[in-house]
């Protein structure tokens, strides 16, 4: 492996267990949303998210989506609105819907959960050690994840290894482009102001690794418990590690 100046890290399956979102973040919403709505109902920030969910529910009801119940913010009682909002969130989450209004409320709840200590971003200890070592050896560490930049900052800022935000030089999400397109990696290198060959990209996803490699980046595949197995045809094509401290400096 050649030398490198920049390390670009994926999050889920790489710095953080692949199960974190489904085993920690989503259950946090499911288990807390009822109490959260009750105790924060008059918070203007929450009301903005409630209006967005109601607008979406009314659109869905017009489009004859069978699970959608219209929500009348002017004429329903607060109790009716709250119970309809809860039912709405329940079916959207069971359907694993990725729609703006739901994501907005989820993000708002996660932000609150991290800030009050109910949520901690899960980190593999060797990933934290390696990030610290890279910083000591004058490498700059960036994150590129399909989770939003805001969500990334929460995971690292409120991690189970403390506030790691000072170790990171920047964040990218899919606003820069899809993670399986090599163009996205060229854009990131251009934005950082470095030749792509000076960047080391680490991810559990072989399609992402191939895209980064096609863009000229150096790559390492992260092999972690719970990750999808690497397809047999890809074995031996890219360097793999089970521990970040195995990655040469």
SS3 label, residue 10: coil
Q: Which residue is nearest to Mg ion (CB)?
A: 13
Site for Mg ion contains 60 (CB under 5 A): no
**Gap between the Cα atoms of 37 and 105, Å rounded:** 10
Write the CA distances from 29 to 16, 35, 53, 82, integer angstroms.
19, 10, 15, 15
Nearer to Mg ion, 50 or 209 (CB): 209
In the region spanning residues 201 to 240, those forming contacts with Mg ion, defined by CB under 5 A, are 204
Shortest reach from residue 208's CB to Mg ion, in Å: 7
Cβ atoms 104, 52 nearer than 8 A: yes
Nearer to Mg ion, 13 or 121 (CB): 13
SS3 label, residue 6: strand
Size of the site for Mg ion (CB under 5 A): 4
Shortest reach from residue 4's CB to Mg ion, in Å: 20
In the region spanning residues 1 to 30, those forming contacts with Mg ion, defined by CB under 5 A, are 10, 12-13
Write the CA distances from 203 to 2, 50, 54, 169, integer angstroms.
18, 36, 37, 18
| 71 to 110: interface string for Mg ion, x by CB under 5 A | ----------------------------------------
| 147 to 186: interface string for Mg ion, x by CB under 5 A | ----------------------------------------
Nearer to Mg ion, 17 or 113 (CB): 17
Nearer to Mg ion, 9 or 53 (CB): 9
Phi-psi region of 211 (alpha: psi -120 to 50; beta: other; left: phi over 0): alpha
181, 222, 246, 205: which is closest to 1 by C-alpha?
A: 246
Applying CB under 5 A, the span of 24-32, 52-60, 197-205, 233-241 interacting with Mg ion comes to 197-205
Give, for 144, the enclosing helix (H) or strand (E).
Answer: strand 140-144
Instruction: Return residues touching Mg ion (CB under 5 A).
Output: 10, 12-13, 204
């Amino acid at each position: 492996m050649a030398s490198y100046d920049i390390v670009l890290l994926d999050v889920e399956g790489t710095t953080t267990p692949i199960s974190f979102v489904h085993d920690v973040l989503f259950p946090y919403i499911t288990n807390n949303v009822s109490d959260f709505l009750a105790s924060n109902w008059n918070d203007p920030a929450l009301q903005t998210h409630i209006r967005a969910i109601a607008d979406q529910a009314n659109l869905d009801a017009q489009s004859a989506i069978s699970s959608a119940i219209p929500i009348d913010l002017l004429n329903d009682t607060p109790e009716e609105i709250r119970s309809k909002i809860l039912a709405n969130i329940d079916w959207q989450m069971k359907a694993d819907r990725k729609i703006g209004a739901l994501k907005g409320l989820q993000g708002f709840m996660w932000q609150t959960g991290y800030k009050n200590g109910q949520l901690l971003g899960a980190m593999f200890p060797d990933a934290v050690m390696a990030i610290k070592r890279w910083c000591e050896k004058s490498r700059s560490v960036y994150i590129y994840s399909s989770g939003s930049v805001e969500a990334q900052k929460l995971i690292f800022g409120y991690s189970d290894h403390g506030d790691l935000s000072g170790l990171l030089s920047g964040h990218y999400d899919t606003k820069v482009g899809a993670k399986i397109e090599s163009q996205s990696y060229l854009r990131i290198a251009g934005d950082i102001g470095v030749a792509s060959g000076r960047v080391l990209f680490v991810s559990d996803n072989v399609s992402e690794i191939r895209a980064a490699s096609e863009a000229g980046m150096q790559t390492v595949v992260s092999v972690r418990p719970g990750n999808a197995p690497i397809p047999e045809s890809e074995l031996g094509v890219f360097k793999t590690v089970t521990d970040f401290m195995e990655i040469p400096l």
